Amino acid sequence: MEKFEIDIKWGSYFFIANMTISIIIVLLMFLINSYSLVYHLSDFLIPLFIVQLIYFTIKAVRENNKYDLNKGFRKIFVFVRLLVFYYLLVMFPNATTNNSDSSIFFLFLPYRKKDISELVEDYSDQDDDITLKEFIVRLKRKFSRV
């Protein structure tokens, strides 16, 4: 097993555990119906996030050590890879729903500025009978625009 497979595995476990616990805590807050605790929810979730991050980092480092994939300071990078993988999973739904102004902060997904129908040009008024030389010129024009 490769080290990136191990990191992705434990990073996805971290994401699933964190989202599940966050949803359970929020549902319990609504069942208790204590709105005063809603403002203090971040005081509880942030330390819980940090504890989970440390726990899953330790698990990933142990599994990397089991396969002799970590040596020296590379153990620190396991923490960074888990955190980056979690960030990518959390930011994925946000980037797909944002408009173009706020998607500047998410640089990992491409954003199409024009619709495909705007890029396709209509040549219906031109003759369909063209020579090979004219065809090559049209291809060069199309590829120079792309």
Are the CB atoms for 25 and 37 separated by under 8 Å? Answer: no
Q: What is the pLDDT of residues 61-111, one digit of tens each?
A: 888 888 887 776 677 788 888 888 888 787 766 655 555 555 445 455 555
Are the CB atoms for 52 and 17 separated by under 8 Å? Answer: yes
pLDDT value at residue 118: 60
Are the CB atoms for 85 and 8 separated by under 8 Å? Answer: yes
Q: What is the pLDDT of residues 21-35, one digit of tens each?
A: 888 887 877 777 666
Task: Look at residues 24, 81, 21 and name the one whose alpha carbon lies nearest to residue 46.
Answer: 21
Task: Look at residues 74, 73, 81 and name the one whose alpha carbon lies nearest to residue 6.
Answer: 81
**What is the sign of the dihedral through the CA atoms of 17, 20, 26 and 29?**
negative
pLDDT band at residue 59 using 50, 70 and 90 as cut-offs: very high
- Mapped onto helix, strand or coil, the DSSP state of residue 113 is coil
Alpha helices by DSSP H, listed for 38-109, are 41-66, 74-97
pLDDT value at residue 16: 92
